[in-house]
Amino acid sequence: SQTIHQWPATLVQPVGSPLSLECTVEGTSNPNLYWYRQAAGRGLQLLFYSVGIGQISSEVPQNLSASRPQDRQFILSSKKLLLSDSGFYLCAWRTGSNQPQHFGDGTRLSIL
Amino acid sequence: AQSVTQPDIHITVSEGASLELRCNYSYGATPYLFWYVQSPGQGLQLLLKYFSGDTLVQGIKGFEAEFKRSQSSFNLRKPSVHWSDAAEYFCAVALPYNNNDMRFGAGTRLTVKP
C-alpha cells in the first residue's frame, strides 16, 4: 500500500535561518506531489506542485522554493525564513487528476 | 470564478444528533468532489469521493454525501454524531484532467457536545 512520510513533525527556527522539509512517498510511481501551507484556523493554500522529477510549479510568489530530486521525494526549502512563514505545512500526493490527494501528517513550523 | 464554499465556519451538535455540513462549488463543468477530515495537528484524511454515477456516496466512519447538480452542492451527512467526530472538515473539488487545480473550502469546525 502507499504511504507518505513527512519530517520533521515539529520545527522551531529563528528568523533568517534556512529551512528544509522533506516528504517521501512509498508504494507508487510517478505521483503528483504537492506542498500546502495551512495558517492557524485557516484553509489550505497550495504552494507548489510537481508532476515529475525536476518539474516544479509555484502557485504563489513567496520566500519558499521546492525541489523534486527523485520520483518520490519532494523538498520544501527556504534560504532565510520570515516570521510570516510560520504555519502547518502539508505534503500530499495523488496518481492522477481523477484521484483524491493523500496527505502526510504535516510539519508544524514556528518562527521565533 | 471557480470556487468552493463552506458556508459554516463552526458547527456545534450534541452527541447522537444528526449532522449536515454544507459545501457549494462554482465550476464550469461538474468537478470531482471530496470530503476530508482533519484532527488537530494532523494531516487530512479522505472521508469520501464522488466522480460519477450514484449521487449518494458512502464513506468511512459512517459518513455519506449527496451530490446535487442543480444546486451545485455536495453536502456531508452523518445520522448520529460521536464525540470522536469533533474535527475540521474540508470540502474539495478537482477538475478532470487538471493536475494542480484541486481547490479546498475554508473548512468547517465541528464541536460535539456531550
Chain B residues lying within 8 Å of A100, measured CB to CB: 32, 34, 46, 49, 92, 94
Q: Among A36, A98, A99, A102, pick the best mutation site for testing chain B contact (most B Cβ within 10 A).
A: A98
**Mean pLDDT across the stretch B60-85?**
96
What is each CA distance from A92 to A64, A76, A109, B74, in whole angstroms? 17, 12, 17, 23
| SS3 (DSSP) at A2 | coil
CATH tag, B3-113: 2.60.40.10
Exposure on the CB side of residue A46, measured as CA atoms within 13 A: 20
d(CA B106, CA B22): 12
Structure confidence at residue B99 as a pLDDT band (50, 70, 90): low
Domain boundaries, chain A: 3-111
Q: Quick one: pLDDT band at residue B27, thresholds 50, 70, 90?
A: confident
Q: What is the pLDDT of residue B52?
A: 86
| Domain ranges, ordered by start, for chain B | 3-113
- B34 vs A104: CB contact, 8 Å cut-off? no
Write down the mean pLDDT value for chain B. Answer: 92
- State yes or no: pLDDT of B100 exceeds 70: no
Q: What is the CATH number assigned to the segment(s) A3-111?
A: 2.60.40.10
Q: Residue A93 — very low, low, confident or very high, per pLDDT cuts 50/70/90?
A: very high
Residue B88 confidence (pLDDT): 96
Q: What are the pLDDT digits (tens) for A29-75?
A: 999 999 999 987 678 989 999 999 999 998 876 789 999 999 999 99
Q: What's the whole-number mean pLDDT along residues A92-109?
A: 90
End-to-end CA distance of chain A: 38
